[in-house]
Structure 1
């Protein structure tokens, strides 16, 4: 843009551009700072979860706090109820199939146990290994309602999420724990159900987002400097 073109630009437009650039710089810096705080939070969360997931198994809590107990490694001794296992639709690293959900009576009440994964060809319980009465695994919060694309249909015995309350209502179990246990794999490596498939992984892109916002702030700071420099040159040339 030539100096003559700058001189013809209305003063109010130059002021508006200056204010807009300054405001965007502030917004982008604040967004970058927010992402840095989220980064610190995510790193603390990952460290806490890894400590829980790979620690010594403890007794399941009577009162469940998702913030404190999700992925906590626990050990439970009890006996499975006489109810038939419920198959919940699943997609795992082994392919599509089902989670085998069974209610277990423990000392503190009934807990739903995800015994593991079975492919479509292994849906028959007669093909499964015996269910152990002592299990270890990771605590997971209930998954209410269903998924984004599908909903549980208890009337048709069609399940797409591990909704402990809905499962308990369907089997008329009464009040059960608001969590389930992803059981570790037991028995032979090739036995079904295949436990121990819990993925303990968190997506952490906060640093990339923060750098993006800071880069945007830098670009607008350069633009702001350019506007001020051009205005200064025009002022000196008059």
Structure 2
């Protein structure tokens, strides 16, 4: 290997070490962000339910809200996979006392309990429920796009479902996962199946990048020593 090639290898090793260090720093930043997210969500889950806001941001996701109104006799089914297996979420519009509509995920129905859209019984008269505010899920599922014109939904797309159900003009730009009421017998649609779990492997990723940075730096140092030995011999 010629001297120019050896110098190029030294430079490449040093640059690789710096690149790995940058990736480790990025993962540490992500770790801080994820820890803040988890702490915020845990705090919101322990807080008292609040009135539904007119709009919502990322900071509002998983906030507990209290809704009062009447369910409208229409719904959409969204494909779902839960701890109970595969089936559908039942999404129904709740007309609030002020005229706004909030799409409520009333819960999960397995194939054996599934009926045609609009045929899952809703409470008759005014209702009050609590749930978790969730942000819209546009697009669809992995490799499957929503087909609004056919009523096939693979994600809880608020704007699309609200349009299908005829409440787009009054609908809040989010949906609410209804919480289970322990005082009530279990029923279908089954509420309370929201999964709140955040993957937090950033510390492991950061350690991996730091190890690679150290290896690249050690390789660069070894090559520098070899080059100096060659130059002095």
Give the TM-score normalised by the residue count of structure 1: 0.88
The equivalent position to 1:29 in structure 2, one of 2, 17, 21, is 21
Residues 129 and 192 of structure 1 are in contact (CA less than 8 Å); yes or no, is this contact kept in structure 2? no
Query: What is residue 172 of structure 2 aligned with on the other side?
Result: 177
Query: What is residue 80 of structure 1 aligned with on the other side?
Result: 71
- CA–CA distance in structure 2, aligned partners of residues 137 and 19 of structure 1: 56
> Counterparts of 1:91-106 in structure 2 under 5 Å?
91-106=81-96
The equivalent position to 1:154 in structure 2, one of 148, 154, 159, is 148
Residues 71 and 123 of structure 2 are in contact (CA less than 8 Å); yes or no, is this contact kept in structure 1? no
> Counterparts of 1:73-222 in structure 2 under 5 Å?
73-82=64-73, 84-108=74-98, 109-124=100-115, 130=123, 133-175=127-169, 176-186=171-181, 188-222=184-218
Residue by residue over 1:202-222, the C-alpha shift from the partner in whole angstroms, topping out at 9 and shown as x without a partner, is 111111111111111111111
Query: What is residue 4 of structure 1 aligned with on the other side?
Result: none
Which secondary structure state, in structure 1, belongs to the residue aligned with residue 78 of structure 2?
strand
**Structure of higher CA gyration radius:** 1
CA distance change for structure 1 residues 154 and 126 in 2, over 3 Å: closer, same or farther? closer
- CA–CA distance in structure 1, aligned partners of residues 97 and 226 of structure 2: 77
CA distance change for structure 1 residues 145 and 220 in 2, over 3 Å: closer, same or farther? closer
Unaligned stretches of 5+ in structure 2? Answer: none
Residues 128 and 193 of structure 1 are in contact (CA less than 8 Å); yes or no, is this contact kept in structure 2? no
- Corresponding pairs, count: 227
Which secondary structure state, in structure 2, belongs to the residue aligned with residue 178 of structure 1?
strand
Structure 1 residue 85: Cα displacement: 2.1
Query: What is residue 47 of structure 1 aligned with on the other side?
Result: 39
Q: Which moved more, 1:203-212 or 1:149-158?
A: 149-158
CA distance change for structure 1 residues 214 and 202 in 2, over 3 Å: closer, same or farther? same
Structure 1 runs, 4 residues or longer, greater than 6 Å off = none
